Each structure stands twice: as structure tokens, then as C-alpha cells.
Amino acid sequence: MSLAFVIPTRNEVDRLLVLLPQIREKYPDSKIFVVDTPTKKTPFSVTSEIAYKYGAEIIGFPAGFGVCLALGLKWASPKSDYIITMDADHDLASATLMYDALIKSPEKDLAIGIENSDRIQRKAMNVLLKSMLGINLKNPTCGLRCYRSSMMESIVDKPDEWFFIQIQLVYNALERGFRVVQVPFPYKEHGKATENFKSYRRFFVSLLKFYWKQTVS
């Protein structure tokens, strides 16, 4: 069974310097795909030097998170049986929990993480997602996941530019009959998180657009 990692990055050299050697040590035969959004602060040449040092494949793509994640999934799926998606500040130990959950549950297709968080905003989003899209999961926005590669062709479709792609992927997976297992992992503050009024407003707008599209289609 082959394993791949898809890691979208933006200004995350320091985190990659920690994460990539950890992956190489624990999963020496795994494939690592870094999809980097270059910036003036961290040009592609800097990130690619680190990626190549640890045998990772990398592409520079000047787009938002959603498009980069979709590109990485399509890139990795023909070359692996399982794909872990994670941010550079996620713990590898938590990612391993997702992978182990699928290995131990051959009837499941997607493992998605559950953080032990009591944030009211998250609970409100979960209520909206359940009532509008029928997604009844504890943490459907979580980006720490492990997919069976065979499902990629069915669920990656016209990705949202932003983080709402995580909802699109879960929705498409459930709609197409794929089975999800939810896996608790230790909660920590997510270094990349930008949860503020602007991000919640953007989430709600994306949700309304996606809901309308499903309703009229």
C-alpha cells in the first residue's frame, strides 16, 4: 500500500523544515507533494530547495488554498493508494491517526479529524452544514484527512478558491456513497487559522452559493 502527502503551503519554510524530515523518517517510501503559493517573502526557489532536500515533489501555483489543494490531490492520486492532506503546522502524529483509521477500516473511504474544541462558531457552522447540505459530521471543515486515492476522480470538481473546498470534498464524497470515519486527535491552536468576522462571512457566502447550486441543479 503506497502513501502520499499533499501539503499546500504559503510562507511556511520554517514549518516544512520540521515536518518534511519527520515524514521522511516515519514513512521513508511515501511520496510528498508540496503545492506552494510563492510570495515576495518566500519565493518559490526557497521553498523548492527545502522540498527537494527531502525528496518532495513541488509545484509553484499562484492561486488560493482551494485550487492548490485540488491540484495536489489530482497530482497525487495516480501515484498512491492513500493520500494524507495536511497543513504544514499539523502534527504528523495526528496525520498518522487518520491513515491508521483507514488501514483498520477497509470499509471506509475517508478519515477526517475531530478536534476537541468547544468554539461556538464551529458548532454554528455544523448546524448550518447539517440543515442545508445534510452533512452530519462533528468537524467537517477539518483539513487533516486521509483519502483512498480511488475516490479522487469522483469528488474533486471545480474547487472553491478558498477553504470551502473542504466542505465540497466532504459533500461530494457523501453524495457519491463514499464512507467516512471520524477520528479524534489532540486539539491545538492552528497556526494558519484566520477565524475572524471576515472569514466567517466568506464561509457563509460560499455556503449560500454552494447550496443554491445544489438546489437548482
Q: pTM above 0.85?
A: yes
- pLDDT tens digits, residue range 3-22? 999 999 999 999 999 999 99
What's the CA gap between 193 and 61, in Å, rounded? 21
> Residues 102-115: what's their mean pLDDT?
94
- pLDDT tens digits, residue range 166-185? 999 999 999 999 999 999 99
Report pLDDT for 182.
Answer: 96
CB neighbours of 4 closer than 8 A, spacing ≥ 6?
30, 31, 32, 33, 76, 79, 80, 82, 83, 84, 149
What's the CA gap between 40 and 44, in Å, rounded? 9
Q: Which three cell numbers stand for residue 194?
A: 484566520
Report pLDDT for 186.
Answer: 85
**Diameter of the chain measured on Cα atoms:** 49
> Residues 90-119: what's their mean pLDDT?
91
* Statement: residue 59 has pLDDT above 90: yes
Report pLDDT for 197.
Answer: 61
Closest CA to 44 of 12, 78, 70: 12
